[in-house]
Amino acid sequence: MTDALLTSARAALAAAPPTGDPAYARYCRELAERLADHWPAVLKANAQDVTLAGERGLSPVLLDRLRLTDAHLGRLQQLTRAALSELAEVTAPDAGVPVGDWGVRLRTPKPLGVVFMVYEARPTVTVEGALLPVAVGNAVLLRGGKEIARTNGALSVVAREALEAAGLPAHLVTVLDDPDRTQLRALLKRPDAVDVLIPRGSPSLIDYCRSASSIPVIASGGGVNHLYVHRSADLDLAAEVALDSKLPEPTACNTAEMLLVDAEVAGDLVSAILRAAERDDRQVAVRLDPRVPRPGGRTGHRPWRIEDLHEHDLGREFLDATIGVRAVDGLDEALAHIRRYGSGHTEGVLARDAGVSAEFTRRADAAAIVVNGSLRLHDGPTLGLGSEISISTGRMHVRGPVTLGSLVTHSWVVEARGTLRSPLTASRP
User: pLDDT tens-digit profile of 292-337?
Assistant: 998 876 666 789 999 999 999 999 999 899 999 999 999 999 999 9
Residue 80 near residue 32, CB atoms below 8 Å: yes
Three-state secondary-structure class, residue 289? coil
Helices 70-91 and 22-55 cross at an angle (nearest 10°) of 150
Tell me how far apart the alpha carbons of residues 193 and 346 are, in angstroms, rounded to a whole number: 33
Q: Which domains does the chain have, with CATH numbers?
A: 2-221+393-414 (3.40.605.10), 225-377 (3.40.309.10)
pLDDT of residue 297: 64
Residue-wise pLDDT tens digits, 51-87: 999 999 988 888 988 999 999 999 999 999 999 999 9
Of 81-85, 234-238, 295-299, 380-384, the range with the lowest mean pLDDT is 295-299
Q: How confident is the model at residue 388 (pLDDT cuts 50, 70, 90)?
A: very high
Q: How confident is the model at residue 180 (pLDDT cuts 50, 70, 90)?
A: confident
How far are the Cα atoms of 125, 132, 180, 358, 381 from residue 400, in angstroms, in the given order?
A: 17, 16, 30, 20, 12
Task: Report the chain's C-alpha Rg in angstroms.
Answer: 24
Most confident of 4-18, 171-185, 216-230: 4-18
* H helix or E strand, kind and range, residue 343: none
pLDDT of residue 298: 62
* 260, amino acid identity: L
Share of the chain above pLDDT 90, in %: 84
Tell me how far apart the alpha carbons of residues 420 and 238 are, in angstroms, rounded to a whole number: 64
Three-state secondary-structure class, residue 161? helix
Strand partners, 260: 228, 326
pLDDT of residue 422: 85
Residue-wise pLDDT tens digits, 13-50: 999 999 999 999 999 999 999 999 999 999 999 999 99
Mean pLDDT, the chain, integer? 94
Q: How confident is the model at residue 429 (pLDDT cuts 50, 70, 90)?
A: low
Alpha helices in 245-388 (DSSP H): 263-279, 331-341, 354-363
- pTM for this entry: 0.89
Q: Does 291 have pLDDT greater than 70?
A: yes
Three-state secondary-structure class, residue 39? helix
